[in-house]
Homo-oligomer: A and B are copies of this chain.
């Protein structure tokens, strides 16, 4: 049911403020307000709707995650007509990574909307990114695929993400780690911990081992990308240790 100008005037004061902030954030007026309220309800404060079932944003997050993946796949498919599916998969993981989504949600100021009993800690875990995905699920149910796609392309990707820069980052973790290893005169090896058949493909779990110590683990259907991911985590750990 669309909320037109007349109906918006009949809302309670709190709802009026919520609608106005959403309009600022989304660029359009929401129709079904309850969907957006649900999107910002972290499970820590969600009310029970049925024995054992809480009205938290987790179901919307499941839906929004899938819708976001599809929209980003479409975007990359068209942006890179001559790159193969390995490249597209890798770049998409980077765009929709929890780290990137948390960062995006913070830039957009979603923390002002989120209801959680863990507010102090919101930035250090994934509450923000989860809420962003849930909000995308809410937009999809409220407005359909095309409007959600426009929102993601304009408000998220164009305004907040430098896709070409992300692509560069993605490819460089392993070489950045090797550079550091050489400078510090340490040893590095990548060790395959598990190879698991999943239908036609294999999932690789790979450790980045520096001076006999596991500094990062990555997994992917491609060995190369699992190594990249292990190297990324090792670099994060090294950075933390140097700062700590």
Which A positions have Cβ atoms within 8 angstroms of B? Answer: 50, 53, 58-59, 61-63, 65-67, 69-70, 72-74, 77, 82, 84-85, 88-89, 97-99, 125-126, 129-130, 137, 140, 144-146, 149, 193-194, 196-201, 203, 205, 217-219, 233
Q: Which residue of B lies closest to A66 (CB)?
A: B73
Q: Which residue of B lies closest to A65 (CB)?
A: B73
The 18 listed contacts between A and B (C-beta, < 8 Å) are A53-B84, A62-B73, A62-B89, A66-B69, A66-B74, A67-B70, A77-B137, A97-B199, A98-B198, A98-B199, A125-B200, A126-B199, A126-B200, A193-B193, A193-B194, A196-B217, A196-B218, A196-B219
With beta carbons under 8 angstroms apart, the residue of B58, B77, B203 that contacts A84 is B58
Nearest chain B CB to A101's CB is how many angstroms away? Answer: 9
| Copies of the protein in its oligomer | 2
Q: Which residue of B lies closest to A101 (CB)?
A: B199
Q: Which residue of B lies closest to A53 (CB)?
A: B82
With beta carbons under 8 angstroms apart, the residue of B65, B70, B144, B194 that contacts A205 is B194
Residues of B within 8 A of A84 (CB): 53, 58-59
With beta carbons under 8 angstroms apart, the residue of B50, B149, B200 that contacts A98 is B200
Known: A58-B84, A200-B98. A77 touches B63 (CB 8 A): yes
With beta carbons under 8 angstroms apart, the residue of B63, B196, B219 that contacts A73 is B63
Nearest chain B CB to A2's CB is how many angstroms away? Answer: 19
